[in-house]
Amino acid sequence: NAGVTQTPKFQVLKTGQSMTLQCAQDMNHNSMYWYRQDPGMGLRLIYYSASEGTTDKGEVPNGYNVSRLNKREFSLRLESAAPSQTSVYFCASSLGQGGWTQYFGPGTRLLVL
């Protein structure tokens, strides 16, 4: 039981390049989330998927797209990376909304030059 896994662990991009961050969970959770974490700013929600087949914008969606590929997998795509997207990205999942615990992956550290 791996929980929430993310790939890659670390990535360096040049401005304008694209990439996809992968996330998978094996807990049969319905809801999945993408966050970014920047120093002094806590966690900010980029996108979430309440259930398979649905996605919604969070607090900071600009510059990102997501795909809920199936119940297990939720990917985050940067179409044209910018230095402002340098951050640590976390994927999380939960059984449902509201008071359900969110389980986090180990994070992807992204540096955009």
Partner 1 sequence: GNSVTQMEGPVTLSEEAFLTINCTYTATGYPSLFWYVQYPGEGLQLLLKATKADDKGSNKGFEATYRKETTSFHLEKGSVQVSDSAVYFCALSEDSNYQLIWGAGTKLIIKP
Applying CB under 8 A, does 58 fall inside the site for partner 1?
Answer: yes
CA–CA dist 103, 112 (Å, integer):
27
CA–CA dist 6, 50 (Å, integer):
19
**Closer of 17 and 109 to partner 1 (Cβ):** 109
Handedness of CA 34, 98, 93, 108 (dihedral sign): positive
**Closer of 26 and 56 to partner 1 (Cβ):** 56
From the list 20-28, 62-70, 79-87, 93-101, the region that binds partner 1 by CB under 8 A is: 93-101
At residue 85, what are phi and psi to the nearest 5 degrees? -95, 5
Applying CB under 8 A, does 76 fall inside the site for partner 1?
Answer: no
**Which stretches of the chain bind partner 1, using CB under 8 A?**
4, 31, 33, 40-45, 48, 50, 56, 58, 90, 92, 97-99, 101-107
